[in-house]
Amino acid sequence: MSNSHPPIIPIYTSKGDAEAFLFYPYLFNRSGDWIGFVTPKREVYSVLGNYVGTLTNDPRIVGKRATSTFKPRLQPPPTPQRIALPATIPLPPMMADLSYSQLDILLDAPERLHTVDSGESREDLD
């Protein structure tokens, strides 16, 4: 049996909780709502095209606590349909500790990855 769809990959927090899912190039939350996208260089962006961090091999989304340089905003891909999440999720792998300069985005700054209809940076409907 061959499956032509890419796999849905759970993205874990440092505590081992699956808080996001990658259906390349789209990232979804635990409700199946779109929260961001990943580039071929494993850079993670929000639904608005703002740089968030990097997808590690763990897999985790890690960003810098403070940065003096900002990556340019990218044009997001077309809005995907909501996905049905897998019924079972594999146990998380052993993860290395993060240095103080690194931030686990899904654990420490989840507001950076919000849905299209929420978040501080969304445009007003006026």
Cα→Cα distances 89→2, 16, 79, 95, Å: 21, 11, 25, 17
CB-CB neighbours of 38 under 10 Å? 21
Q: Residue 86's CB: how many other CB atoms inside 10 A?
A: 13
Given a contact cutoff of 8 angstroms between Cβ atoms, the answer to whether 95 and 60 are in contact is: yes
Domain boundaries, given as residue ranges, for the chain: 9-85+94-112
pLDDT tens for the chain, residues 1 to 126? 455 667 899 999 999 999 999 999 999 999 999 999 999 999 999 999 999 999 999 999 999 887 656 788 999 999 999 999 988 999 998 888 998 889 999 999 999 999 988 755 555 544
Q: What Cα–Cα distance (Å) separates residue 84 from each residue in 1, 15, 23, 44?
A: 20, 24, 11, 21
Q: What is the pTM of this model?
A: 0.86
